[in-house]
Amino acid sequence: MTRGNSQGMRREEMAGTAATSLIHLRDVVKVYETAAGGVSALEGISLDVRHGDFVAIVGKSGAGKSTLVNMITGVDDLTSGEVWVDGVSVHDLGENELALWRGRTIGVVYQTFELLPQLSLLDNVLLPMDLCGMYRGRRSIARARRLLEQVGLEAHMYKPPTRISGGQKQRVAIARALANDPPIIVADEPTGNLDSATADEIYDLFAELLADGKTIVMVTHDKTLAGRATRTLEIRDGGLTTRPCAVSARPSRVVPTATGMMRFPVAVGGYDD
């Protein structure tokens, strides 16, 4: 068998595996080059996330949580390995292809909100549509308004971000992440700057998104929020392990969604440090 045929069969095998998972990582390695030598952040990580999963990624500061997320979104280059998302080999895309693909496939929610202060809340939500070539005039404006209504900010949509609270800013960030109706939401410490009551509101929004069929991958230090995920993964020493859920048989709460009332778990514990 020639090397070309072997590589082709390998890629067909990977594509087949990726077809059964929304997110598929295989032997992902990330090494940062410094003046003192290479610093290993990820060491051969493999991971599968299926449609409708709510995955929490935990670990100490500097363990590589955000690096792992950057591998999934294609924000950072990998050193070796493969990343497939929604049937696409992410790191084989060119720069322009990657930007368009990311904007249409993954909605990102940042700890620091990353809203543009010179734009209204409505325009902040419209921006991803424009950047990805998906702006459709009145139809897009109507969608942006509906998303702000969904997160409870219809009365503030013409205000700039400087005139709303931190919790409200995070809700705008979630609405913006949904602008292009992506199948995946990636949240990097979404409650890191919020009080516990506001963090609860953000979880309720995530619960609604899961009921609507979204897949969520979340980096968090919040033990309670991690305990509410369907799966919790820990990064340690560049590797990935599954943490046992400490909140099985936990009570649930009813959350209204677009398709009716859904029951979601209420965390009564988290994971141990």
Confidence of residue 259 (pLDDT cuts 50, 70, 90): very low
If you average pLDDT over every residue of the chain, what do you get? 84
Q: Mean per-residue pLDDT for 182-195? A: 90
Residue 244's pLDDT is what? 61
Q: Specify the pLDDT at position 224.
A: 80
Greater model confidence, 51 or 268: 51
Q: What is the DSSP letter of 85?
A: E
User: Higher-confidence residue: 257 or 111?
Assistant: 111
Three-state DSSP class for residue 37: strand
**In this predicted structure, what is the pLDDT of residue 260?**
43
Q: Can you tell me whether residue 201 is helix, strand or coil?
A: helix
pLDDT-above-90 percentage for the chain: 66
Predicted local distance difference test score (pLDDT) of residue 251:
37
Higher-scoring residue by pLDDT: 86, 245: 86
40 pLDDT more than 80: yes
Predicted pLDDT at 271: 35
Examine the pLDDT at 11 and tell me if it is beyond 70. no
| pLDDT, average across residues 196-218 | 91
Provide mean pLDDT across the span 219-233.
Answer: 88
pLDDT(268) > 50 = no
Contact between 180 and 100 (Cβ < 8 Å): no
The pLDDT value given to residue 28: 97
Distance (Å, whole) CA 264 – CA 38: 44
Say yes or no to pLDDT of 18 above 60. Answer: no
Instruction: Please give the share of the chain, as a percent, with pLDDT higher than 70.
Output: 82
* Euclidean distance between CA atoms 25 and 82, whole angstroms: 6
46-85 pLDDT tens trace: 999 999 999 999 998 888 999 999 999 999 999 999 999 9
| Amino acid 228: pLDDT | 87
CA proximity to 212, closest of 169, 264, 170, 171: 264
> How much is the pTM?
0.81
* Distance from C-alpha of 62 to C-alpha of 105, rounded to nearest angstrom: 27
**Interacting residues of 250 by C-beta distance below 8 A, sequence separation 6+:** 265, 266, 267, 268, 269
- Model confidence band, residue 261 (pLDDT cutoffs 50, 70, 90): very low
- Which pLDDT score is estimated for 181? 94
Give phi and psi for 112, each to the nearest 5: -95, 15
Name 71's Cβ contacts closer than 8 Å, sequence gap at least 6: 25, 28, 30, 42, 78, 83
Please name every residue paired with 33 in a beta bridge, in sequence order, or none if there are none.
38
- Least confident window among 12-26, 96-110, 159-173, 204-218: 12-26
CB neighbourhood size of 221 (10 A) = 16
